[in-house]
Amino acid sequence: MRFPMPVFDANSQGNEGFGNLPEWDLSDLYPDPDSPELKRDLDWLAGECADFAKTYEGKLADLDAAALLQAVQRYEQIDVIAGRVMSFAGLRYYQITTDSDRAKFMADCQDKITAHTTPLVFYSLEFNRLEDDHLNRLLAENADLARYKPVFDRMRALKPYQLSDELEKFLHDQSTVGSAAWNRLFDETMAGLEFDVDDETLNLEATLNLLTEKDRAKREAATHALAAVFRDNIKIFARVHNTLAKEKEIEDRWRKMPSPQTGRHLSNHVEAEVVEALRNAVVAAYPRLSHRYYALKAKWLGLDRMQVWDRNAPLPMKDDTIVDWDQAQDIVMSAYADFDPKMADIARPFFTDGWIDAGVKPGKAPGAFAHPTVTPVHPYVMLNYMGKPRDVMTLAHELGHGVHQVLAAEQGELLSSTPLTLAETASVFGEMLTFRKLLDGAQTPQERKTLLAGKVEDMINTVVRQIAFYDFECKLHAARAEGELTPDDINALWMSVQAESLGPIFDFADGYETFWAYIPHFVHSPFYVYAYAFGDGLVNALYAVYQEGDPDFREKYFDMLRAGGSKHHKELLAPFGLDASDPTFWEKGLSMISGMIDELEAMED
């Protein structure tokens, strides 16, 4: 079932002075873990999955269009109920990952869902054995069935890589003790780590937050504390990565996947050559993006050389004002309303109806995410809000996801889910709207410079850093295919991409080679990270069209979000005159970043 993992975003610990931070009200999913509604749904799921298999296994090829539509709609409802259960269990767990009762509840729910849905494994396998002519004839006969064609196309894209029914059932059955178990070990290990910084014991989130402190000594101390704890636990993290990469290599080999990245490209409904064009464009742009910006930043900080703890240092001209929760809400909501009041209307219930969990709490998962749950309910947003301007941008980002998920829910469960490459569109666009509103309101050149530098830094983290992460993963999986990797092997792979992406101005402190260990995406979602760069480049191109004054842009934009996963990226971008498969497409987005750096350099003259 679809359940996104937390996205790393550096925040800190404690909630004092930020106003009344909201917490989730999960009762729209289920009243509580012991509720009769939850038991009813699990009982229904067990019976319905068994009956579905009894009714349809071995018989899909004999169904007419109306009967096949009924089968698809029954499968969709099973997806809704299973997704509802796991959304509730997962969201409760991420509120306090150190709570053993919540962890057990989520694991028990996952075990039950896996057991109940194992009889359904036949469905996609058998569906993919339908003859093309036969399926096309059924689609032509029934418009309601034809509406699901994008779902069928994605299923059938996996046809060359599917295994026997028996093996597929085995993989489904053992998943809870395979990657899911290693994911959980990673999460629980990370949540339990403690870091000693200047005689204070902090969790991971609070320690990472110190890397954005103005006091350079504090940033350095935090870096050394992180390095020390990662080094002490590096064998665990190396074991997690070795096992998951090997498990993936074995399954990919059995499926005859041509590369470790193929599965991600298929799930993202994007061509390998498009991702390669994106990757190559970004790597070629390193010198005029990150290398140039960090040289500027070193000058602002009065440094001849940058250390790794200076990468996220606040700028000397940065305003230290704390943005309380009400201010953050006003900033983001007004930016959304300026674009279109309809966008603000969609976003409002997140603030009023318990759809956001904002405060930092012991044991809470780090970072931020927006989880769509299931289409009959609504999304939930998780933040770790600490009142920094960056946290306001994170709110704008996750709220963009939420708006997208609300609109896409109109498609229904099977068609609403958006590929990762397009899932970042509304979030990054929401950030851009908020940034542009703040930039337009800048009162002084210094304020404008601060905003521009902050945005460039965020974009470098989204584009350059994520493509460097992608290169690290590619190297890691290629190396693991040749044999077991020691922690030093993985450290070396990590460092091989850091100097290239950050540039010659940086020195790398002893211990930084272990910093791959805390990135959750490598564990939860291999090769996920390029989606951030994809989304940023796509939004920059979209925003350029918006700035050019297309009178129909807003309606086209909402139509794109409503489409969810029902259209390919070519279809979605065509109304805007854009094409991601065009080699020059990515250059447009990268040029927006380099143009901002141009303006920052001009301010130095």
pLDDT, greater one: 16 or 540: 540
Tokens encoding 571: 């279809």
The three-state DSSP-derived secondary structure of 453-513 is HHHHHHHHHHCHHHHHHHHHHHHHHHHHCCCCCCHHHHHHHHHHHHHHHHCCCEECCCCHH
Residue that has been written with the tokens 């699990």 in this structure: 42
Cβ(128)–Cβ(158) under 8 Å? yes
Show the CA angle centred on residue 115, arms to residues 44 and 526, nearest 5°: 115
Tokens encoding 348: 């409002």
Q: What is the pLDDT of residues 95-150, one digit of tens each?
A: 999 899 999 999 999 999 999 999 998 999 899 999 999 999 999 999 999 999 99
For residue 16, the model assigns a pLDDT of: 56
- Measuring CA to CA, which residue among 365, 433, 421, 363 is closest to residue 395? 433
Cβ(577)–Cβ(542) under 8 Å? no
Q: Is the pLDDT of residue 11 over 60?
A: no
H helix runs in 353-486, sequence order = 389-408, 413-416, 420-423, 425-440, 445-462, 464-480
Element (H, E) at 38: helix 36-56
Show the CA angle centred on residue 248, arms to residues 367 and 105, nearest 5°: 50
Cβ(431)–Cβ(390) under 8 Å? no
Per-residue pLDDT, averaged over 398-419, amounts to: 95
257: phi then psi, degrees, rounded to nearest 5: -70, 135
For residue 424, the model assigns a pLDDT of: 85
For residue 193, the model assigns a pLDDT of: 94
- The pTM of the full predicted model, rounded to 2 decimals, is 0.81
Distance between CA atoms of 364 and 368, rounded to whole angstroms?
Answer: 11
Q: Is the pLDDT of residue 56 over 90?
A: yes
If pLDDT is split at 50, 70 and 90, which confidence band does 5 have? very low
Residue that has been written with the tokens 């499968």 in this structure: 75
Q: What is the pLDDT of residues 546-578, one digit of tens each?
A: 988 989 999 999 999 999 999 988 899 999 999
Distance between CA atoms of 588 and 590, rounded to whole angstroms?
Answer: 6
Residues 6+ apart with CB under 8 A from 23: 354, 357, 358, 359
Q: Is the pLDDT of residue 4 over 60?
A: no
Strand pairing class (506-507; 356-357): unpaired
For residue 81, the model assigns a pLDDT of: 98
Task: Provide the percentage of residues in the chain whose pLDDT is more than 90.
Answer: 74
Q: What is the pLDDT of residues 530-543, one digit of tens each?
A: 988 998 889 888 99
Tokens encoding 519: 């990135």
Residues 6+ apart with CB under 8 A from 266: 154, 157, 158, 161
Q: Which whole-number Å values give the CA distances from 168 to 157, 171, 414, in the listed order?
A: 16, 5, 21
381: phi then psi, degrees, rounded to nearest 5: -110, 135
What is the overall mean pLDDT for the chain?
Answer: 92
Q: What is the pLDDT of residues 482-538, one digit of tens each?
A: 999 999 999 999 999 999 999 999 999 999 999 999 999 999 999 989 988 998 889
Q: What is the pLDDT of residues 467-478, one digit of tens each?
A: 999 999 999 999
149: phi then psi, degrees, rounded to nearest 5: -55, -40
Dihedral angle, C-alpha 354, 358, 362, 368, nearest 10 °: 110
- List of E strands, 145-285: 195-197, 200-202
> 123 in helix, strand or coil?
helix
Distance between CA atoms of 594 and 597, rounded to whole angstroms?
Answer: 5
Reported residue count of the chain is: 605
Distance between CA atoms of 555 and 171, rounded to whole angstroms?
Answer: 43
Q: Give Cα 189 to chain centroid, integer Å.
A: 21
Q: Which whole-number Å values give the CA distances from 351 to 21, 291, 337, 490, 579, in the listed order?
A: 10, 39, 15, 42, 36
- 458 residue type, one letter: D
Q: Is the pLDDT of residue 12 over 70?
A: no
Q: Is the pLDDT of residue 285 over 80?
A: yes
Distance between CA atoms of 212 and 459, rounded to whole angstroms?
Answer: 16
